[in-house]
Chain A
Amino acid sequence: MSGSKEISRRELLKAAAVAGVGGVTLGLGKAGIAATAKEKPAAKTKSTKKILGVDVIKLGGQGVISGAHADYGWQIQSGAIMAIDEINAKGGILGSRLELKFMDEELKPAVAVKNARYLATDWGAHLLFGVDSSGSAMAIGPILPELDRICVFDHASTHRLTEELVYGKGIKQIFRIAAPVYQESNLAALIFKENPNIKRWAGIHCDYEYGYSVWAMFKDTLKKYRPDVEFVSIAWAPFWTMDFSSHISAVMAANPDGIIATPWAGEGVMLLRQALMLGVFDKVQAWFQCMGASVDILEGISREVEAGKFKDKLWATARYIHNYPNTPENNIFVANFRKRWNRFPNYSAENAYSTIYVFKAAIEKCRSLKTADLIKAIEGLKIMTPAGERFFRPEDHQAIYNVPGGRVVKDPNYPIPVLGDLKVFPAAAYYRNPPFQALTMGK
């Protein structure tokens, strides 16, 4: 492994200082927390020779930490830092401590690629993870062989990342721990195929990779089960849409029975508030907000859910929800997260937290930091995580686990709304399987 030499204390301090400066330039608010995950001197460093040959295993993370979507990068960092601190407190991985550097991908593929190069080449990251935007993920994937690093993607969700780049082109350095768009498109189709009264569907979708793949897959899957449904209207919204009124009124002009929508984070909250304003929930029978069970959206619409304004018609899912599954692993994770950060973890946090434990499991399995060894170690890996047991499918490097969809409801046991009326389907029922058939997508 390149750069696997003993690092002197001075060099370590220098690296920490560089990381600190990086944090500042990224924006002062949240980036500063990255600093807490490093600089804890490991005990007994001198006596035993390191199994991995390094004092520090460097983890290079990326996410969006600016703008209306900034909470996602914050959640990725918070989950990763929690796992790193837990592991370091127990002596690290095979005696090597973990150190994190986190960068803002700004939802821009060019920035994400630049960051990945910097993290791997200049900073010397052994492992890469993160990335919120599908466009960014599709740009980073192809340069991983050249960087000779693996990257575990913990949010970007286009099916093309694993289906085309891993299964199709054989880029084995890509892994994805989060559920891909199967979660919001195929699962939604399975839930709503049971409702014979919803025949006319409309979409309000992100005007980029993510929205295109969800809409294409939702239509494709639902049509297989329900040849009688129609897709009556569609509106596309780019990043930074501040007002969705025109989109909502345009799709409502076609009198849909159901609406499926992808805008996420702050944009998702705005979309739902404006839909309420326009009286949409008096007209439609169901609204499926794809990543609506993410904590930031649940917090954002809490008042309206409490007042019953969505009339129990709002449905959602996410890539993990904090009230599922009811296992000791999940309950402990949620409790510790709340204790540390005073918020509920959203899926980015769980996905990043589990990513760090996947690194741990893989390194312990192959006792190496070499990319080829790590790939072998993660392929076929089964690991218990807060979201349940994950299995990394060897063919496309996609982690298999299931997350239910459900109705957004108020639960007296929680300070924010949760998903109730859960519809649980095993992952095998809604994940696409190899060999993959390409979908026609786009506007």
Chain B
Amino acid sequence: METLIFQGLVGLSVSMYLWLLAAGLTIVFGVLGVLNFAHGSLFMLGGYFTFTYYGLLGINFWLAIALSLLSVGVVGYFMERFFLRHIYHMDHAYQLLLTFGFILIFDDAVKMIWGGVAKIPPMPSFFEGTVSVVGRPFPVYNLFIIGTGLAVAIAIWQLFEKTWWGKMVRASASDREMASAIGVNIPTLFTGVFVFGAMLAALGGALGTPVRVVAPGIGAAMIIQAFIITVIGGLGNLKGAFVGAIIVGTLSAYGILLFPVFELFLIFLIMAVVLMVKPQGLFGGG
């Protein structure tokens, strides 16, 4: 039993990175209707910027994260304002092509700027150490990640439920023309939502840096999991992304512990079952 609790907690901390990634993906899809393949690349850029500000320039860890969110936000602004905006009216296939192109561009840009070798940012010393959970050492950092993931979930929920901006976003998500008719500036709002989604991805990437490495290609590797999560939870549904991330993170942790031979297969099995029973995803509309 202790083993299961511990493994679940480890899985939960892994889930939180997935949640931050899937949250932005699903918000952008829900509001803008764009399935952003390059969303994982924004996660990767968040890692690279944090590595640069914190690992190379020695800026304070928290400030480095804030700066990296801003930097990725700027990248997101340019992506939306000068590229995506021009294809909203087109078929999804064009959006996939364009955003897939961005994956290649970001991967090569990262290689040109930072090189092909994986970069390893240092761990801030105040995060070192473990606490005892059911008699086993559990990293303080993983607790911090779990806390941050939950805090972000509450903050996003508050943002969309309680603020004026959130209400405008929800209004334009449910009826773009009507929102426009009552005076919502849709293009500006879309840019804002895209930048917000990009910053969420960057936060996931930034928070990973103390324990992971940053390397070209990690974005494309992460995006597959984010897609699985949004399919399980329901595309465009925030609650679905949260629950989906926890399902994928904890179940793969249990899979590794209990069924090491077909652990990889487990997640796809769950996705298949969800698609068969509820094709719109667990929290999908309809």
Q: Which residues of A are in contact with B by a Cβ distance under 8 Å?
A: 27-30, 65-68, 70-71, 73-74, 207, 233-236, 238, 240, 242-243, 245-247, 249-250, 252-253, 265-266, 269-270, 273-274, 277-279, 282, 296, 299-300, 303, 443
Contacts and interface: CB of A to CB of B under 8 A. Distances in A.
A266 B215 CA distance: 8
B208 interface: yes
Given A253-B3, A266-B120, A270-B211, 13 more contacts: A27-B107, A27-B108, A29-B112, A29-B115, A66-B116, A73-B116, A236-B261, A236-B263, A245-B13, A246-B7, A250-B7, A252-B136, A282-B137
Given A30-B116, A67-B216, A74-B116, A249 B208 contact: no
B117 A277 contact: no
Interface residues of B, number: 44
Interface string B200-244: 000000001001110111100110000000000000000000000
B75 interface: no
Contacts of A296: 117-118
B213 A300 contact: yes
B260 interface: yes
A300 B121 CA distance: 9
The 4 lowest CB-CB distance pairs between A and B, nearest first, are A266-B118, A279-B137, A29-B111, A70-B116
B123 A67 contact: no
Interface string B96-116: 000000000001100110011
B246 interface: no
B137 A70 contact: no
A15 to B, nearest CB: 25
Contacts, number: 138
Interface stretch (B81-89, B176-184, B249-257): B249-257
The binding surface of chain B is classed by DSSP as: helix
A269 B213 contact: yes
A140 to B, nearest CB: 23
Contacts of B208: 242-243
B34 to A, nearest CB: 25
B142 interface: yes
Contacts of B116: 27, 29-30, 65-66, 70-71, 73-74
A29 B13 CA distance: 34
Contacts of A252: 136
A434 B48 CA distance: 49
Interface string B251-285: 01100110011011000000000000000000000
A247 to B, nearest CB: 6
B216 A270 contact: no
B61 interface: no
B187 interface: no
